[in-house]
Chains A and B, each alone.
Chain A
Amino acid sequence: DAGVTQSPTHLIKTRGQQVTLRCSPKSGHDTVSWYQQALGQGPQFIFQYYEEEERQRGNFPDRFSGHQFPNYSSELNVNALLLGDSALYLCASSRSGARETQYFGPGTRLLVL
């Protein structure tokens, strides 16, 4: 049973560019959440997708957007990258009957130069 998978594993971009990160949820899961983890800190919630709609959003600007596909996979898009966007981006999945329990992927490490 495959767990949560994310791609790419690492990414280097320059300021002002745009980036797309991808996530495939654990089998049987239909809800995907995204988190940003800066170095030495705990993950911060960005948003959550369920039934292809954004259901919850944390304190992140509109430069951060997402999408969920019919197969429950998801994308995180970040526009106009800033140096401060450098972080580990974690995807977590859960199932609708137990959304409080989330399983995390290995993350995508983004470096903005």
Chain B
Amino acid sequence: GDSVTQMEGPVTLSEEACLTINCTYTATGYPSLFWYVQYPGEGLQLLLKATKADDKGSNKGFEATYRKETTSFHLEKGSVQVSDSAVYFCALSDRTGGFKTIFGAGTRLFVKA
């Protein structure tokens, strides 16, 4: 079945450092790909998405590019802030799966001032 694998955390960075969180997927269909963010004690917020190969999703300085050839959707940000500290989930959803969203295990990010 479909699955998502993302790098284990926690990831600890200093403010203004570059961030990359790796994500790869396995899917039988042609999924849409997502990054969600979960701040402490809260639900999930959609951070960005991409629906087809080579699409780049972006929001709040975060970017991810849908790479079909490597089945990857890595999350990047050029300069992180303390307020970016959260858990980040890579996810996929497609028609063949009935549009249920399948999540990775999450990567916790700590940003130090």
Q: How large is the interface on B (under 10, 10 to 19, 20 to 34, 35 or more residues)?
A: 20 to 34
Contacts of A104 in B (CB 8 A): 36, 43-46
Instruction: Say whether A105 faces chain B, with CB atoms less than 8 Å apart.
Output: yes
Q: What is the number of residues of chain A that contact chain B, defined by CB distance less than 8 Å? A: 28
Residues 72-88 of chain B: 1 if any A CB is under 8 Å from the residue's CB, otherwise 0? 00000000000000000
Residue from B42, B43, B51 having most chain A Cβ neighbours under 10 A: B43
Q: Is the pair B98, A92 in contact by a Cβ cutoff of 8 Å?
A: no
Instruction: Say whether A48 faces chain B, with CB atoms less than 8 Å apart.
Output: yes
Query: Chain B nearest CB: distance from A55 CB in Å?
Result: 6
Q: Is the pair B98, A101 in contact by a Cβ cutoff of 8 Å?
A: no
Q: Is the pair B46, A100 in contact by a Cβ cutoff of 8 Å?
A: no
Q: Is the pair B100, A43 in contact by a Cβ cutoff of 8 Å?
A: no
Partner of B43 from the list A42, A90, A99 (CB cut-off 8 Å) is A90
Residues 57-99 of chain A: 1 if any B CB is under 8 Å from the residue's CB, otherwise 0? 0100000000000000000000000000000101010100001
Q: B residues within 8 Å of A by Cβ?
A: 4, 31-32, 34, 36, 42-46, 49, 51, 89, 91, 93-95, 97-106
30 contacts between A and B (CB under 8 A): A6-B43, A35-B101, A40-B106, A41-B106, A42-B4, A42-B91, A42-B103, A42-B104, A42-B105, A43-B44, A43-B89, A44-B103, A45-B100, A48-B98, A56-B98, A94-B99, A99-B93, A99-B99, A100-B31, A100-B93, A100-B95, A100-B101, A101-B49, A101-B93, A102-B46, A104-B36, A104-B44, A106-B43, A107-B42, A107-B43
